[in-house]
Amino acid sequence: MLHPIIIYIWTLIQIVIGYNLILPLIFFFFYLPIHLIKKKHTAFRSIPENDYAIIVTAYQQTSLIPEVIDSILKLNYGNFLVYIVADNCDISDLKFSDERVILLRPETIIASNTGSHFYAISHFKRDHKLLTIIDSDNLVHNDYLVELDYYFSLGFQAVQGYRKAKNLGSSYAALDAARDIYYHFYDGKILFGLQSSATLSGSGMAFTTELYKDCFKNTEIKGAGFDKALQYEIVKRGLRIAFAENAIVYDEKTSQPEQLVKQRSRWINSWFKYFSNGFKLIKKGIIHKNINQLLFGIVLLRPPLFIFLILSLICLIINIAIDPFTAFIWLIAFICFVWGFGISIVHKNTDPLIYRSLVNIPKFIFYQIISLLKIRSADKISVATEHSHKKKLDDLVN
Is the model's pLDDT at 385 over the cut of 70?
no
Alpha carbon separation from 116 to 113, 120, 287 (Å, rounded): 5, 6, 36
**Looking at the predicted structure, is the pLDDT value of residue 44 above 60?**
no
Report the Cα 184 to chain-centroid distance in Å.
8
Report the alpha-carbon distance of residue 243 to residue 189 in Å, rounded. 6
Q: What is the pLDDT of residues 316-343, one digit of tens each?
A: 999 999 999 999 999 999 999 999 999 9
210 vs 170: which has the higher pLDDT = 210
Which backbone phi and psi does 202 adopt, to 5 degrees?
100, -30
> CA 368, CA 158: separation in Å to the nearest integer?
31
Cα–Cα distances in angstroms (integers) from residue 179 to residues 103, 113, 197, 342, 387, in the given order: 33, 23, 19, 12, 19
Helix axes 324-346, 171-183, angle to 10 degrees: 100
> How far apart (Å, rounded) are the C-alpha atoms in residues 353 and 175?
9
The amino acid at residue 101 is V
Q: What is the pTM of this model?
A: 0.92
pLDDT at res. 262? 81
**Of the ranges 50-64, 184-198, 360-374, which one carries the lowest mean pLDDT score?**
360-374
pLDDT tens for 274-330 read 999 999 999 999 999 999 999 999 999 999 999 999 999 999 999 999 999 999 999
- The domains of the chain, with CATH numbers, are 7-39+48-398 (3.90.550.10)
Name the DSSP letter for residue 358.
G
pLDDT higher for 385 or 186? 186
Q: How many helices (H) and strands (E) does the chain have?
A: 16, 8
Name residue 55's beta-bridge partners: 83, 133
Q: What is the largest CA-CA distance in the chain?
A: 78
Asked if the model's pLDDT at residue 377 lies above 70, the reply is no
User: Would the pLDDT of 45 be above 90?
Assistant: no
pLDDT (tens digit per residue) in 216-256: 987 777 767 899 999 999 999 999 999 999 999 999 988 78
44-to-143, 165, 240, 337 alpha-carbon distances in Å? 11, 26, 21, 37
In this model, does residue 210 exceed pLDDT 90? Answer: yes
Helices (H), 123-225: 144-153, 171-183, 191-193, 209-215
Catalogue the E-assigned strands of 71-145. Answer: 80-87, 101-104, 130-135, 139-140
Separation between Cα atoms, residue 305 and residue 390, nearest integer Å:
29
Average confidence score pLDDT of the chain: 90
- Rg of the chain over CA atoms, in angstroms? 21
DSSP state letter for 203: S
